[in-house]
């Protein structure tokens, strides 16, 4: 494949992958503050710090994966194949981001459930 077409592919893929990552992260972690405050019983400092750590890990995993799968290989030198390769890369990455979003939601809901369980009084059992 012609080098300029590969560079065009990278110039399209990388900004789209980064935009998707930042958009999903912004949406997820802006809305997860409520869950973190509930999990940590209103302690804003620890809830915010934990949320920021989750966000940093989310960025590292997703940007790292986007860079890992960035290689575009096409055997025929035409724009049709380039567009098909880009749609496959971007579509696959979007599916991966969706899966990561639901995994994070699972952890938030699980943390909320565990926090509620710790609030339940333990029934008295005579010795």
More confident residue, 117 or 52: 52
pLDDT confidence of residue 69: 94
Average pLDDT, the chain: 88
pLDDT band at 62 (very low <50, low <70, confident <90, very high): very high
Residues 66, 36 contacting (CB under 8 angstroms): no
pLDDT band at 123 (very low <50, low <70, confident <90, very high): low
| Helix pair angle (44-68, 3-31), 10° resolution | 160
**What Å distances lie between residue 123 and 7, 15, 36, 65, 113, CA to CA?**
66, 56, 28, 48, 19
C-alpha–C-alpha distance, residues 4 and 79, integer Å:
11
């Amino acid at each position: 494949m012609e080098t300029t077409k590969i560079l065009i592919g990278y110039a399209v893929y990388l900004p789209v992958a980064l935009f998707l990552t930042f958009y999903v992260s912004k949406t997820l972690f802006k809305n997860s503050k409520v869950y973190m405050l509930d999990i940590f019983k209103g302690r804003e400092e620890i809830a915010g710090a934990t949320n920021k750590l989750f966000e940093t890990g989310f960025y590292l995993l997703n940007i790292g994966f986007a860079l890992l799968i960035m290689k575009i290989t096409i055997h025929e030198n035409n724009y049709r194949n380039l567009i098909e390769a880009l749609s496959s890369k971007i579509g696959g990455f979007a599916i991966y981001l969706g899966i990561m979003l639901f995994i994070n939601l699972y952890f938030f809901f699980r943390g909320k459930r565990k926090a509620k369980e710790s609030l339940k009084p333990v029934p008295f059992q005579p010795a």
